[in-house]
Structure formats: structure tokens, C-alpha cells
Amino acid sequence: MEQLACPVDVISVCSANGDIRPLRIRLEDEAHSLLRVDIDEVVSVKPVQYVGIEAHIFLCRATVRGKKWLFELKYTIRSHSWCFLRRVY
């Protein structure tokens, strides 16, 4: 399990009832170049609270450079910010 917890750029869509779904992320790889990742599937969404701060943890599946990735994204509601939490192998 690779833990990063770094902020990322995300393109997402909101449904009419207020649900949010990430579609694409952009993060920096080990060589410090930008990597665009199209999300194939959102496996699960879990609402969480950290010391009163509401957030959603998205478990996502994507294909990156020909390999399947399973990773977690955190969306913090109050600050409207996204964070790449960790990659699950």
C-alpha cells in the first residue's frame, strides 16, 4: 500500500441530487511530471468525519500506463479540496 496524501486536481460531476463523482485526476509522478488519470469506476463512497470536518472517501479504479490501479481519493466538503490518499495494491 503506497500512501501519499497529496492534493490533486480533479474533474468531477455533480448529480441533480447533490452526489459528486470524480471523473479524472491529475497528479505528479516520481519524475515530477504531470500524470492524467481517467477514472474507470468508483467502487465505493464512504462519508467520514475527522474532528468535525466532513469528507467523502472515494475508492476508485483506473488504468494507468497499462496497469490497473485501485486508489482512494478524499474530498473535503468545507474546503472543496481533493487529496490522493493512497494506492491500494
**Cβ 87 vs Cβ 77: under 8 Å:** no
Give 3's pLDDT tier (boundaries 50, 70, 90): low
pTM to 2 decimals? 0.89
Burial class (CB in 10 A: 0-12, 13-18, 19+), 47: exposed
- Per residue in 30-42, pLDDT tens? 788 899 999 999 9
Q: Which of 44, 48, 53 is nearest to 88 (CA)?
A: 44
Q: Which amino acid is at 54?
A: E
Q: Is the pLDDT of residue 1 over 50?
A: no
